[in-house]
């Protein structure tokens, strides 16, 4: 069983941790990655790198400009169609990426047998105002053999866009529980650490987090806000005396185990909302209780195992922070609920078996 795993510049180990177990368990499957020449991550599968417009040096409004110049989406991989000759399944991501339409064309040419499209998008008809993108989406929506969704909300999005629900399978991504797990690390009992991990930009709720922290820090001198990430709002934390750090992915389990709770205060925009929130799952797997918002698919993902507040509301986030700092019993309860939930629904080894069966059924 030969799979072309097509992700362009965005090929990554966050996603692939739900595929690696099947490679160790089943000798009849071979997965080859297809990326741009400059992928953002180094992955542990054989990868064919192809030129893409997204590899161009950075310049102001790079992606918006390229998306409009290249028929709706810059995630085009030169020569992809010919490289797909002989593969049984072309597995692409999202209906609007250019390489997804390239895979559909390769199928029409007889180069590849089936096209499986993974969808995380939760906003129906999103981004269709970009010239050419609506046509790209329509092509993939009409001609994919099957769709893999990460959440029920993503499935509802596809159904709203006209996909027959019989062509959709929901399999959330999982977490490697051998890497993300509770650890017995020495903690300062006189300090409470709230951890934020993510891109430092407005949609991650940075303004609300800063607003809430300004009130919290004077009331709870033993509270430490630790920020891990990069982005345009980095200076806002520096101005508060907090220096954001950045760590390799392999170090994140240790960082999580040193904290007392995670904070993910994401908020929706016109074109984006949280589609899964891998950092939530990874935190839950480490036994780290989570304080988050009702943004996108987050309530579906964490259910009762997280403290959920209204998105975009600094006052509500402050109340949530206050509760998490003061109430150690609440933290222990959420930690236990999170561990149970992630082991039941988001274990990468279990999810990998489901994805393997999806491949089998598609062939």
Name the fold adopted by 192-345.
Answer: Rossmann fold (3.40.50)
pLDDT of 208 over the 90 cut: yes
What are the C-alpha distances in Å from 77 to residues 32, 117, 319?
Answer: 15, 17, 47
Q: What angle do CA 41, 45, 47 make, to 5 degrees?
A: 75
**Both structure tokens of 350:** 């279990």
Expressed in angstroms, the distance from the first to the final Cα of the chain is 8
pLDDT band for position 265 (50/70/90)? very high
54-104 pLDDT, tens per residue?
999 989 989 889 988 888 899 999 999 999 999 999 999 999 999 999 999
pLDDT band for position 112 (50/70/90)? very high
125-156 pLDDT, tens per residue?
998 888 899 999 999 999 999 999 999 999 99
Q: For residue 186, how many other CB atoms are within 10 A of its CB?
A: 6
pLDDT of 186 over the 80 cut: no
Comparing 2-174+347-362 with 192-345, is the CATH topology the same? yes
What are the C-alpha distances in Å from 334 to residues 3, 89, 212, 308, 345?
Answer: 39, 40, 21, 11, 16
**Options 3.40.50.2000, 3.30.930.10, 3.90.1150.10, 3.50.7.10; which CATH number does 2-174+347-362 get?**
3.40.50.2000
To which residue do tokens 């593969």 refer?
87
Residue-range domain boundaries for the chain: 2-174+347-362, 192-345
**Which residues, 6+ apart, have CB-to-CB distance to 120 below 8 Å?**
93, 94, 149, 150, 151, 154, 275, 276
- Residue 188 confidence (pLDDT): 73
Specify the pTM. 0.92
DSSP secondary structure string, 333-344? HHHHHHHHHHHH
pLDDT band for position 310 (50/70/90)? very high
């Amino acid at each position: 069983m030969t799979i072309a795993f097509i992700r362009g510049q965005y090929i990554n180990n966050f996603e692939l941790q739900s595929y690696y177990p099947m490679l160790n368990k089943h000798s009849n499957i071979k997965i080859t990655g297809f990326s741009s020449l400059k992928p953002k991550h180094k992955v542990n599968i054989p990868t064919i790198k192809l030129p893409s417009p997204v590899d161009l040096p950075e310049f102001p409004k790079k992606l918006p400009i390229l998306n409009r110049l290249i028929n709706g989406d810059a995630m085009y991989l030169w020569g992809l169609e010919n490289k797909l000759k002989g593969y049984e399944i072309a597995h692409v991501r999202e209906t609007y990426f250019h390489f997804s339409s390239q895979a559909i064309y390769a199928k029409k040419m007889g180069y590849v047998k089936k096209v499986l499209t993974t969808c995380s998008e939760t906003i129906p008809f999103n981004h269709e105002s970009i010239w050419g993108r609506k046509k790209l989406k329509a092509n993939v929506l009409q001609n994919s053999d099957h769709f893999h969704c990460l959440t029920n909300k993503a499935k509802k999005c596809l159904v709203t866009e006209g996909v027959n629900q019989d062509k959709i399978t929901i399999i959330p991504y999982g977490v490697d529980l051998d890497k993300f797990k509770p650890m017995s690390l020495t903690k300062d009992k006189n300090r409470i650490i709230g951890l934020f991990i993510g891109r430092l930009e407005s949609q991650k709720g940075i303004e609300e987090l800063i607003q809430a922290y300004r009130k919290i820090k004077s009331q709870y001198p033993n509270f430490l806000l630790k920020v891990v990430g990069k982005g345009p709002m980095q200076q806002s934390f520096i101005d508060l005396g907090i220096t954001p750090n950045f760590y390799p992915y392999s170090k994140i389990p240790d960082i999580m185990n040193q904290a007392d709770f995670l904070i993910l205060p994401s908020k929706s925009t016109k074109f984006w909302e949280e589609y899964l929130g891998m950092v939530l799952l990874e935190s839950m797997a480490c036994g780290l209780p989570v304080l988050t918002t009702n943004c996108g698919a987050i309530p579906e993902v964490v259910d009762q195992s997280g403290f959920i507040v209204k998105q975009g509301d600094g006052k509500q986030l402050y109340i949530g922070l206050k509760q998490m700092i003061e109430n150690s019993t609440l933290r222990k309860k959420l930690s236990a609920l999170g561990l149970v939930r992630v082991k039941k629904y988001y274990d990468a080894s279990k999810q990998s078996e489901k994805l393997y069966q999806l491949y089998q059924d598609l062939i």
